[in-house]
Structures are given as C-alpha cells and as structure tokens.
Structure 1
Amino acid sequence: MTTRRNVLDGKSVLEKDDRKEDIPAASESSSISPAVPTIVIVKLLGFTAAMIIGPIGTYFLTLNTIFKGNSTWAGATAAVMANVVLIAYVIVAFRDDESDRLDEKTRIRKGQ
C-alpha cells in the first residue's frame, strides 16, 4: 500500500517548525499577567477550606450535642452541610460571572 504525500513548498515538517516568524522579538513587550485573577483563587481556596472544615466540623459538633451519639443523623447533617457549601460556591460563581458581564456592558456604554 502506498501513501501520497503533498509537498507544497519543499520544506519538511522539521524545517517548518524552526520558522523565525513565530518567535516574538525581544523588543516586543509581553504581558505577564496571571491567567486567573487573584480574587478567584482566594475564593476557591476559601470554599475548599469550607468544604473540608464545614462537613467534618458539623459531624463532630452534632454527633454528641444534638443527636446523642447517633452517627447516622450526624453524617446526614454533614452531607447536607457539604451540599450547602457547594450550592454557595455555585451562587458566588454565577454572581461573579454576572458582574463581569455588567462591567463589560458599562465599559462599552461609556466608550460610545
């Protein structure tokens, strides 16, 4: 079985990879800004801590104080707390996304 190879400019793949057009010049300025804003990372770390501390703390707080040693009910309460933290994270993420859209709309209106 033979294969067909299209040669357009006579260069091999390795020669095409070493093109100098793809390399930015040293005189060009580059933006070294973080891909993710710091506030997003802080929120993520906060909700991560809440996801760990909230359900475990709820379990041990309710085990002997409210449910008198019934670990089933304490575990169910911890599961509810995990869902509360998760829902809170989703709500905060949606609000943050909406605020970004509103900021963009106001910037567009001010530019007109």
Structure 2
Amino acid sequence: MASRRIISQEKTLLEKDDSIGSSPAANEKSNIAPAVPAAVIFKLLAFTFAMIVVPIGSYFLTVDNVFKGNSTFAGALAAIMANVVLVAYIIAAMREDQPDQEEKQQQKGSSRGEDKKSR
C-alpha cells in the first residue's frame, strides 16, 4: 500500500525561503544586468536603420540625377549599397569581438606562465 503524505504541514515552492539554510541562493544577490550591453543594441539599431535608408536613398537619388531614368542601374547600385552596409556591420562586429579574444589569450598565456614558474 502507498503511504499518505500530510500536505498541510509541507511548504509549497512559493512558501520556501531561500535566505534561510544552505541553499545556493541564500547569500547571493540577483544579477539584473542586461545580457547585451547598450552599445551593442545601439550599433545594431544604427545598422538596421542604415540597411533601410542607404539602399532606398541611393536608388531615389541616382535614378534621375545620375542614371537619367534608368532604374536598372539605380537598382543595381541600391543592391551594392545594401551589401556595403552589410559588410560594414560584419567588420564592426569583428572589431568589437577582437578585444575579447585578445583578453582570453592573455589570460591563457598568464596562467601558463604561472604554471611554468611554479615548476
């Protein structure tokens, strides 16, 4: 036969207090920092805006002024400008990631140096 549990004496998940006892969350404060820095979000928004404005703007600026009504050449230029914005975003993202990679390499190098010194 199955044993019966007395439910009225047990605490529910919401009633349990993490600040008492040896739980991992007892002495830690919550980390409420955003997962992505604000500069990254602003850079993404700027490139999104550029991805919309630059190709459309280049089309309408050049269709009559430069290419004298030839929409094929103006459309090709708009496509090229969209690719230029995309490549610029990729380069900016790679440059942003380089300091992080260099820092990781320096940390690995310094930990290896300490290992050699301790021998």
Q: Encode CA deviations 1:36-91: one digit per residue, 9 max, x unaligned.
A: 11111011000000000000000000001000010000000000000000000001
Alignment size in residue pairs? 97
- Structure index of larger Rg: 2
Corresponding residue of 1:52: 52
Task: Please state how far the C-alpha of 1:102 moved relative to its aligned partner.
Answer: 2.2
Instruction: State the 1:94 CA deviation.
Output: 0.7
Task: Supply the distance in 1 between the matched residues of 2:70 and 2:28 (Cα, whole angstroms).
Answer: 66
**Residue 101 of structure 1, CA deviation:** 1.7
Q: How does 1:15-30 map to 2 (within 5 A)?
A: 24-25=25-26, 28-30=28-30
CA distance in 1, matches of 2:39, 2:105: 21
Q: Distance in 1 between matches of 2:36 and 2:45?
A: 13
Aligned to 2:93: 93
Aligned-CA RMSD value? 3.0
Partners of 1:40 and 1:105 lie apart in 2 by 23
Q: Percent identity?
A: 56
TM-score by length of 2: 0.67
1:86, 1:80 → 2: CA distance? 10
**Structure 2 residues without counterparts, runs of 5 or longer:** 1-12, 115-119
Higher relative contact order (CA 8 A, sep 6+): 1
Runs of 4+ residues deviating >3 angstroms: 20-25, 103-106
CA deviation after TM superposition for structure 1 residue 28, in Å: 3.0
Tell me if 1:65 matches 2:61.
no
TM-score (norm 1): 0.71
Unaligned runs of 5+ in 1: 1-17
Determine if the alignment matches structure 1 residue 102 to structure 2 residue 102. Answer: yes
